[in-house]
Structure 1
Amino acid sequence: MNNNRIASLVEKMTLHEKIAQLIQLATPFYKGATNGGQITGPMAELGVNDEDIVNSGSVLGASGAKEVKSIQEMHLKENRHGIPLLMMADIVHGYKTIFPVPLAIGCSWDLEAAEKSAEVAAREASVSGVHVTFAPMVDLVRDPRWGRVMESTGEDPYLNSEFARAFVRGFQGDNLTEDKDRVAACVKHFAAYGAAEAGRDYNTVDMSERQLRESYLPAYKAALDEGCEMVMTSFNSIEGIPATGNKWLMRDILREEMGFNGVLISDWGAVKEQIPHGVVRNEKEAAEKSIQAGVDIEMMTACYIKNLETLVKEGKVEEQIIDEGVYRILELKEKLGLFENPHRGADEEREKEVILSESHRKAAYDLAVKSTVLLKNEGALPLNNQKKIALIGPFAKSGDILGAWSWMGSHEEAVSLYEGMHKKVSAENLLTAKGCDIETGSEEMMNEAIAIGKEADIIVLAIGEESGMSGEARCRADIRLPEIQLELLSKMKQLGKQVVVVLFNGRPLDLTGMEGQADAILEAWFPGTEGGNALADLLFGDVNPSGKLSMSFPYTLGQVPIYYNNYNTGRPKNAAVDEYVSKYLDIPNEPLYPFGYGLSYTNYKYSDLSVSSSVMTLDQPLIVTVNVTNTGELAGDEVVQLYVRDMVGEVIRPLKELKAFEKVTLTPGETKTIEFTLSEEQLRYHHRDLSYTSDAGEFTIFVGPNSRDVSSATFELTK
C-alpha cells in the first residue's frame, strides 16, 4: 500500500476537491454514462455542479464493462489529479446469475455454498466494472412484517455471524489488490436496522445497549473481523439519535471498540434525512453531525458538498476530519489497484464468457437445492412422474422467482417451475393452469384450474408472494397469502386429490387458512435463476431436501415478533399450571415451524448424547457427542444443531442459544458420531454493567434436528 502517495495526494488537493471525494452520485450524473450525463427530474434538484461531479469520489449503480470504462475514462480526463472513481452497486445475491435470496441461503446452513455464491457474484460484477458491493446485509431479524427480512440470514446472532464471514470471504477473496475477480464488501446496516418497530422500514429502533450488544452487533463484528472493507450506516435511530449522525455508535463502538478503520458510507439520503428525524434544523447541521460521527461518504444528498467548506472556515469542523475520510477512500482505491488500472477487472469480452456461465448456473442450482425447506409431508412427496400431475398457480410458469435485489437478473433467463418439471414428465402427464394471479383472479381462470385438477392424480400448487411484496419499503401488516390464492387452494383441496404446495416468498408467512389444507409444503423462497430445475429435482426425489429454517414461522400474525432464543418469564407456561401464566387464550405460544426446522424424505434418529465431563473449567472445554442414524431408505443431509441454556445468570438468559452446528451426509442405515467442542468462551454474555464474562453454575446442553425437538444433558461451569 503506497501510503506516501496517498498522503502526498491529499496534501495537493484543495478543500473543495477533498470534500467532493466524500460524495457519491448515481450513474446518470456522469458524462460517460449511457445518458451522457444529462440530469433531469429529482436528481437535478440535488444541486451539484460540474466541478463537484468532476471531483466526486464514487458512483452508485454503474455496471456493464463498456459503460463503466466510458465513465472512468471521461472522468480521468477532467479530474486534475487523475483520481479514479469507485464503482459501487447492490450485488446482494447474484449479479446476473441470481442465487436464492439471503434468507433462503441462511436455510442452507451451508457456509461453503454461501461463500461460493458471493464469489460467483463478485466475478460477474467485477468483470462488469463494479468495485464495491453493498453486501452482505447482516441485520438480525425477528419480525417477518419487515420487507427486508429476505435480505438477512435470519434470527440467530451466531448463525448470522457465520454467514457474514462466509459472504465477506466470497466477495473479497484473499487479496483484493491481486485478485481482480473479487470486489470489496460493504456490511450493512449499522446498526440494528432489523429491529425497526412494527416491522416497518426506516422506523425507530429502541432497545437496551445490552440487547444491542448481545443480539445485533455480533454479525457486524464478524464481518469486520473477516476484513470487510466498508460499512454502511442504517436509516434508523439508536438511543434516540439517527445512526448516520450517531457519534457514539460510529466512533466509539464501530471505530474504537471494533477497530474498524475502513470506509463508512451513509445509506441513500440518510445524511439529509436527519432533518425529518428532528435532530438537525438544516443540511448544514446534518453535514456537521455526520462528518463528526465519522461518515466518510454521503450517498445521494449534497449536505457535505454544500456545507463542509463553510463549516471548516467557521471552525465547527476540523479539516483533519475531512482529510481522514479522504485518506480512507483513497486507500481503498489504492487497495483495489485503481491508480494503476482504473478499469480494474472490467472487460467486455470476458463478460460474455463469465456471466451466466454453466459453472455459475451450477452453483446457483446447488444453493437453491440446499436452501429449500420441506415444511410438511404427509406422503405426498416425492412425486411419481408416471402419474398425471396438475401444476397450477400464479408461479407455475412464472419467471418471477428471483426476489428483490436481483438488479441485473432476468425473469426470462430464470428457469420456471414448469420448465423444470417438464424435463421430468411427459407432456400428457403434466397439465398446467394459472388458476389466478397473485392478488386477483377470474371465474374463468378458476374453472380452468378446477378442470385440470379433476384430470390429475395429484396437484402441485405454486403460490406465494410476487417479488415486489418483499424487499426495501415492502413491509406488510398482513403476511398471509392473498385471499384469491387461499380460495384456489380450497378449490383444489375439494377435488379430493393430494395437494402439494410450493411456496415462493421473501419472508416467513402466516400460513393460517392454508397449512391444514396442504398435504405437503415445500418452502422455495425466491430460489433464483436455476430455481425451476432445483425444485423439480426436489419434488421428484432426485435430491433429498435438507434445508432448515433460519427464521421461525409464526403460528399466526398475533405472535410476531416470535423467535426461538427468547427469555423466560416469572410465570412461564407449563403443563402443571395453565392459568395466570404467560400465554395466549386462542393460540399456542410456540411458532408453527421453529428455528432450525426442516423435514427430509428420510428419517434420522438421535441417540447416545454424552458430555465428556459433568464439569467445565476455564481451561478445560467439554466434548459433546451424539449419534445420528439414517433410519430411512434414502441418503440425505442432516444439520445437527447444538444449543445451550445458562440456567441462572446475573441477567435473564435465553431459553436456548445456538452454539454450534454440523451438516452431515448419511446413507441409509448409516450412523455417524457427531462431536462438538464447547468452551467457556462460548458461555460468555453481556452482564448488567456490559462486561462480557460467563457465570459459574449449571448449564443445559440441547442437541437435535431443530430448536424444538432436542435431547438434553447438563454440566457445571466452575471458576
Structure 2
Amino acid sequence: MNKHQLISIIEQMTLEEKIAQLTQLASPFFEGSDHEGQITGPMATLGIKEEDIRNSGSVLGTSGAKEVIRIQQAHLNKNRLGIPLLFMADVIHGYKTIFPIPLAIGCSWDLELAEKSAEIAAKEAAISGIHVTFAPMVDLVRDPRWGRVMESTGEDPYLNSQFARAFVRGFQGTNLKNDLNRVAACVKHFAAYGAPEGGRDYNTVNMSERQLRESYLSAYKAALDEGCEMVMTSFNTVDGIPATGNKRLIRNLLRGEWEFDGVLISDWGAVKELIPHGVAENESEAAYKAIQAGVDIEMMSSCYVKNLKQLVENGSIDETLIDGAVFRILSLKDKLGLFDNPYRGADEKLEKEIVLCNEHRQIAHKLATKSCVLLKNEAILPLQPKQRVALIGPFAQNGDILGPWSWLGSKEDTIQLYDGIKLKVKSSDIFVAKGCEIETGTEEQLDEALTIAHQADVIILALGESSEMSGEAGSRADIRLPEVQLQLISRLKELRKPMIAVLFNGRPLDLHGVIDQVDAVLEAWYPGTEGGGAIADLLYGDANPSGRLTMSFPYSVGQVPVYYNYFNTGRPKDAPDAQERYVSQYLDIPNEPLFPFGFGLSYTTFSYSEATLSSDYLTPEQPIQVSVQVTNSGEIAGEEVIQLYIRDVVGEVVRPIKELKAFHKIMLHPGETKTVTFTLTEEQLRYYHSDLQFKSDAGEFIAYIGPNSKEGLALMFKLVK
C-alpha cells in the first residue's frame, strides 16, 4: 500500500476503531487463543469490552502457527475494515532454540554470530506466526545487582552499539515484506533503563543530559540507524519524568532530533504506572500525557481505550495525534505484508521441520562455546579424558541453564553439563552428585558429594544462580553465590584435589569464596540449549576459550557501580605524588574490579609487540593507522580479541580514563604472528561538551592497544585542527 491508501483506511475508521488500534492485549482476550477467556489477575481489572477486542491492533505473547492463524482468522471475520492483527512476543535470545543470554553473546565479541543467532530466532518465530520481537535490549549496564544486566551486552557504549546493529540486521534482514523468515525488531528500553538507583528494577534513574547522551543513548540510536522498526519506552524516569510520559524525550529527541517515524510502544502497563509515579492523577491524565508524549501503543493497560475518546471530544487532545499513531501502526503492518497476507510466514508444516532443528542447534553450540569466559586456570585445564571426574553441584544435571527470557525453551531439550561430559569420559570414570540445591542443602547431599569426590582425580563444580535469581525483577543486593554453595566448595577444598568451578549465572558475581578456593573458573553464564556440550568441549580442550568480559566483575559489591571507562579524580590513587591516605580509594578493598572489561584467558598465550602509529598527528582530513603485532606464543591455536582504546588527556569536560574505539578478533596458530591495524579518525575523538555540542578538541591523546581494558601498549598522538 502507498501512503494515500493507508490514509484512506484511517479516514474510514471511527474514533473508537482508531483508539483500539493503539491497544495491545494478551492472547487470552482473543477468540481462537489456546487460553481464550483465561483472563485473571491484572488482566481482569482492565475493563476491556468486546468491541475493544474486535478492533484491537496487536496481540501479546501468542505463539504457534496454528493458534496465530486461528486468532487472525477469527479477528478478520469480525473486524469491520479487515485490518489484521500484529503478533508480538519476547524473542530475546532465541525462540525455541535458545542461545546464550545477550550478556554472554556480548562476551563472544563475535558480531557475525550474534547476527546469525537473531536471524535463527527470527526464522523460528516467523514461521510460528510472530511478527515483532521485543528485542534487542541495548541498555548500557554498570550495576550487576540489577537482574536485567543479563539482557544487555554490557557496559560499553561502542560495543553495545555494534551488537545493537547486528541484532537488528539478524531479526529484520533487508526487506520484511518479501522475507517471511524475518520479524520486526523493537529496541528497548528507551531510555537509560540500565541505570536504576541501587540496582533495583523499575527504580529511579537520575543523570545529566550530557551523561545520557555520552553513554546511554548511542546504542538506541545505532539500532535505529540500522533500520529498527519499533522502540519500547522504559519504566524509569528520565530527568524526573517517567519515560512513557516524557514529551521531551520522545517528541523532541526520538521523533524530532533523531527523526524516528516508526512505532513506539509502552512497556507492560507503563502508561497506567504514570499514576504511582506521581505525574498523573488518574487514568485519563495518564492517557493524555502518554499520547501527547508520542506513545503509539499502550501495552496491557487500558488508559487509552477508556479515555482517549473523551479527551478528543472535550478538546483536550487533537484527533490528529491518534491519526498519526494509527498511521505508524498500519504502516508497520503494511511493511510486514499483512494486508496482502495476514498469516504471513505462519506455517505449521515448516514449524515442525525448522524449529529446534539440528542446524540451529549447531549454531547455538558454536555461540555458547565462544561466549564462555575462562577467568582462572592454574594449569588444570584442559582436562584429560582418562581422568576420573566428580561432577558436583546443583547444575550438574540441571536443565535450568537457559536463563530468563527463554520463553519457549525447554529444559527437556537442553544439553545438561552431565550430558556433555559423559561424551568425553568413560561412564565408569564419571561420578555425579548434587552436593546441595541452589539455595539449600542437607548433610546427606554433602556426604554423597564428599564420597564420590574421594574416588575422583578432579572435581568439577557446577554452581550458580537459578534463572529466577536474575532477569526482570531479579535484583539482588548480595551477588555472591548462595552460602550453601560456598560451604560446599569449602568442604570439598579439604580433600586437596584439583577443583574447577563452572558458573551458571546472569550477572557478574562477587566471587569471593570461589576464586580463592578453586584451581580454575569458567564463566558459562546461561549458555542455552546446547550449553552442556559447549562447556564440555571447552573443559576437555576440543575448543579453546575465547570469550572476553563485556561487564566488569566487582571485587566487592561495595564498589558497584564499577566499570572500566570511569572518570579520573583530582586525587587519583595511582598519581605519582599520591599521599597514602588522602586519595580516592577504599580503605578495605581495591578500587579495581576483580576482573576488568575485556578480560579472558585462553589455553594459549599471546604477546603484543611493535605497536606503531602511521603519524604522530591526526587531522579531520587525515586519519592515522594504529598497528600492533600479535603472536601466538603458546602451543595450540587460539582466538584473540585485540582491543583499541583511547584517552583524551585534556578535555573541555572530564573524559573517561579509557574508551573502547575498535576491536578485531583473530585466529592464530602456534608461533604465528599477524599485524593488526586500526584506522582512527577525528570523528572517533568527538564527545558531548558542556553545551551538548558533539565535537572533538585539539590536543594530546593516548592510544592503548592490548588484550583488555587494563593491559596494553600506549602510544601518544595529537589531534591538530
User: Quick check: TM above 0.5?
Assistant: yes
Counterpart CA distance in 2 for 1:86 and 1:251 is 24
The amino acid of 1:615's aligned partner reads: Y
Percent sequence identity is 68
3-state DSSP of counterpart to 1:608: strand
Question: CA contact under 8 A between 2:555 and 2:589: conserved in structure 1?
Answer: yes
1:40-65 CA deviation, whole Å, 9 max, x = no partner?
A: 44312100100000000000001000
Counterpart CA distance in 2 for 1:699 and 1:86 is 50
TM-aligned CA distance change 1:57 to 1:631, over 3 Å: same
TM-aligned CA distance change 1:40 to 1:476, over 3 Å: closer
Which residue in 2 is equivalent to 1:713?
Answer: 715
1:435-464 CA deviation, whole Å, 9 max, x = no partner?
A: 000000000000000011111111000001
Question: CA contact under 8 A between 2:27 and 2:36: conserved in structure 1?
Answer: no
3-state DSSP of counterpart to 1:672: strand
Q: How does 1:160-175 map to 2 (within 5 A)?
A: 160-175=160-175
What TM-score, normalized by structure 2, do the two folds share? Answer: 0.99
Which residue in 2 is equivalent to 1:7?
Answer: 7
Which of 647, 652, 655 in structure 2 is aligned with 1:653?
A: 655
The amino acid of 2:17's aligned partner reads: E
The amino acid of 1:214's aligned partner reads: E
Counterpart CA distance in 1 for 2:38 and 2:517 is 55
Counterpart CA distance in 2 for 1:42 and 1:209 is 35
1:619-640 CA deviation, whole Å, 9 max, x = no partner?
A: 0001000000000010000000
Which residue in 2 is equivalent to 1:153?
Answer: 153
Q: How does 1:588-607 map to 2 (within 5 A)?
A: 588-607=590-609
3-state DSSP of counterpart to 2:374: strand
1:279-337 CA deviation, whole Å, 9 max, x = no partner?
A: 01000000000000000000000000010010001111100010000000000000000
- Which structure 2 segments of 5+ residues have no match? none
3-state DSSP of counterpart to 1:516: coil
Residues 573-582 or 169-178, more deviating: 573-582
Which of 604, 607, 610 in structure 2 is aligned with 1:608?
A: 610
The amino acid of 2:271's aligned partner reads: V
Which residue in 1 is equivalent to 2:704?
Answer: 702
Which residue in 2 is equivalent to 1:581?
Answer: 583
Q: CA deviation at 1:37?
A: 3.5
3-state DSSP of counterpart to 2:610: strand
Counterpart CA distance in 1 for 2:46 and 2:40 is 10
Counterpart CA distance in 1 for 2:35 and 2:439 is 36
Q: CA deviation at 1:405?
A: 0.0
Q: CA deviation at 1:28?
A: 0.2
3-state DSSP of counterpart to 2:194: helix
The amino acid of 2:493's aligned partner reads: K
Q: How does 1:449-468 map to 2 (within 5 A)?
A: 449-468=449-468
Which residue in 1 is equivalent to 2:567?
Answer: 567
Which residue in 2 is equivalent to 1:69?
Answer: 69
3-state DSSP of counterpart to 2:411: coil
Counterpart CA distance in 1 for 2:634 and 2:362 is 28
Which residue in 2 is equivalent to 1:638?
Answer: 640
3-state DSSP of counterpart to 2:666: strand
Counterpart CA distance in 1 for 2:261 and 2:518 is 52
Size of the aligned set, in residue pairs, is 719
3-state DSSP of counterpart to 1:456: coil
Question: CA contact under 8 A between 2:132 and 2:186: conserved in structure 1?
Answer: yes
Which of 627, 630, 638 in structure 1 is aligned with 2:629?
A: 627
The amino acid of 2:687's aligned partner reads: Y
Q: Does 1:385 pair with 2:385?
A: yes
Which residue in 1 is equivalent to 2:197?
Answer: 197
Question: CA contact under 8 A between 2:130 and 2:183: conserved in structure 1?
Answer: yes
The amino acid of 2:98's aligned partner reads: I
Q: CA deviation at 1:21?
A: 0.2
3-state DSSP of counterpart to 1:18: helix
Which residue in 2 is equivalent to 1:544?
Answer: 544
Counterpart CA distance in 2 for 1:718 and 1:3 is 48
The amino acid of 1:663's aligned partner reads: K
Q: CA deviation at 1:518?
A: 1.1
Q: CA deviation at 1:35?
A: 2.9
1:539-582 CA deviation, whole Å, 9 max, x = no partner?
A: 00000000000000000111000000000000000264222000
Which residue in 1 is equivalent to 2:523?
Answer: 523
Which residue in 2 is equivalent to 1:323?
Answer: 323
Q: CA deviation at 1:387?
A: 1.0
Q: CA deviation at 1:104?
A: 0.2
CA RMSD of aligned residues (A): 0.7
Counterpart CA distance in 1 for 2:257 and 2:376 is 45
3-state DSSP of counterpart to 1:626: strand
Which of 665, 668, 688 in structure 2 is aligned with 1:663?
A: 665
Which residue in 2 is equivalent to 1:296?
Answer: 296
Counterpart CA distance in 1 for 2:104 and 2:42 is 35
TM-aligned CA distance change 1:46 to 1:676, over 3 Å: same
Counterpart CA distance in 1 for 2:22 and 2:525 is 38
Which residue in 1 is equivalent to 2:354?
Answer: 354
Which residue in 2 is equivalent to 1:56?
Answer: 56
The amino acid of 1:595's aligned partner reads: F
Counterpart CA distance in 2 for 1:354 and 1:535 is 25
Which residue in 1 is equivalent to 2:682?
Answer: 680
Counterpart CA distance in 1 for 2:152 and 2:322 is 33
- Which structure 1 segments of 5+ residues have no match? none
Which residue in 2 is equivalent to 1:345?
Answer: 345
Counterpart CA distance in 2 for 1:583 and 1:517 is 27
